[in-house]
Chains A and B, each alone.
Chain A
């Protein structure tokens, strides 16, 4: 099919931010590449024999994979909830654990569904997931889509509640918010382009196998 060099080289997209350290450790443990976060952060694209690593924003990882610009990607499940695409989700990489929660101000009377108002106003970076979750519970919701500092929104009266990601709950506590419900649990996932699995099966599957093995070794 393709030229040998292209055929054997597998490209993987890694996310900036909290999952990057875990992703780099995993690549090292799988003996695929030893890369430092500063080096990758400076170059954004690093070539190693048989491997190309690209560094992109977490929410962009599925786009790189779905369009075939990367064969594989490491990305939080929370990003995949919001992104509809044709990629394969292959392995739970078991790091970067966090929860997507419904949080309300400490002083709020809101708790379980029986306490929700007829129309709930919710701020979030996860509009799709939030919409589905409330819809599945028969709750009308007005989703306010924000891009950052979601914790602020209920304090200034913009919304009744927020849906956001939390690992330790610290940010929520600092902003005097408490958890009123859990939408889902997220960890880092390995995703793959559908055509890469088919046109360059051996090289891609071999790399998937090594990453999978590295995950179980890390347990």
Chain B
């Protein structure tokens, strides 16, 4: 930082190379956010485990040889890479589906399929663009490997929805589409390969102006052309399946519509009919996804909070061919949605500040232990204080109660703003635990 740039008082003089804010694109999560993200992560993993998904922890670092098998060129470009002591190139993981596939094909090779696994942890990107100027983000994911068909697809979508509920989200919707619907259209449209490649890249860039331009230069106007042009509008309830079925004339798309209908029906049986929308124009990485794809959206958030789908091709690349489907939830976005919601998560609160004078120190330690046994959050001071000083300290650390210990038989209990009560420590403990948090 150039000297003299800021006129406000600067922190203690440090060498210019010490960035107190951390490396750009990385950030510290303060208690308000860290607590919410930790709780969301725990409730997501707990919900996944209730559905029989076993928790695994895969390493932060993987060999690029492994990651290259599963990632597209753009994802590979965005990896943080460096060389290991042996000269091998390794990378910090940018997602964890590929590591889980490696695990299932490797150490878990003899485990019977289907296998249900879940995981949580940070993922990194060398490129700030991927997570909206962040290079580190937190994900929780689940994978169902070795099961094909609509029942497995519906299970994973239902699990994703229940996970979002478990994290505390109340208003969200899940958009379900099918990668094969698009592939069928691409098979059926009569276009030169070069134009088809252009259509794919225009769609990947969500550039419908370029798409229209490409298609307008071809003489043929089939129903498939029209479908491609209307891609972003192909959304709705079950009725769009019939509408689309009347337009497509190819097996692959028809099969996809059929399967979408079954998944939608199954999701109704899961009790989720009202939050599911069908999206035939979902644009995702079509080289990777092979079947049902889905995204979870919340209100007023510009990006999906959960994403997933079927990827039946990945496991074969690791030598254990298996159908697979799964999803990830973006914890940062869960936090954003919760904090913008009608009841933003309350900042974590200390239940008790325990202050003492010399003769009350033992009592203070005992009271702290007792309160913690009841699951309360209690801080015992590191220095003796008189009562006024203790009250100021209690307010400064934001505790709900002050307990001032001056001897082992009676302590002074104060709720800031109310009158102080003199009580035996056991009674204070009982009343604090009894009132609950």
Contact = CB atoms under 8 A, between A and B. Distances in A.
A88 B212 CA distance: 13
A87 B132 CA distance: 13
Interface string B299-315: 11111100000000000
Given A90-B208, A194-B302, A199-B299, A67 B232 contact: no
A90 B232 contact: yes
Interface in B115-141: 129, 132
Nearest to A196: B302
A198 B235 contact: yes
B26 to A, nearest CB: 20
Given A66-B302, A86-B303, A205-B233, A198 B206 contact: no
B254 interface: no
A194 B206 contact: yes
Contacts of A66: 132, 302
The residue in B206, B236, B297 that gathers the most chain A C-beta atoms within 10 A of its C-beta is B206
A89 B208 contact: yes
A91 B212 CA distance: 9
A194 B209 contact: no
B309 to A, nearest CB: 15
A192 B232 contact: yes
A2 interface: yes
Interface in A84-105: 84, 86-92
B369 interface: no
A129 interface: no
Interface string A183-208: 00000010011111111010001000
Nearest to B295: A198
Contacts of B351: none
Contacts of B366: none
Contacts of B171: 1-2
Contact of B129 (A84, A92, A201): A84
Contacts of B175: 198
A195 B207 contact: no
Given A67-B302, A68-B300, A198-B277, A88 B206 contact: yes
A6 B279 contact: no
B297 A198 contact: yes
Contacts of A193: 302
Contacts of B132: 66-67
Nearest to B208: A90
Contacts of B357: none
Nearest to A84: B129
A189 B303 CA distance: 21
A88 B173 contact: no
Nearest to A77: B209
Contacts of B206: 86-89, 194
A213 to B, nearest CB: 14
22 contacts: A2-B299, A68-B303, A87-B206, A88-B208, A88-B232, A89-B205, A89-B210, A91-B208, A92-B213, A189-B209, A194-B206, A194-B302, A194-B304, A195-B297, A195-B302, A195-B304, A196-B302, A197-B232, A198-B277, A201-B233, A201-B235, A205-B233
Interface of B: 129, 132, 171, 173, 175, 205-210, 212-213, 232-233, 235-236, 277, 279, 295, 297-304
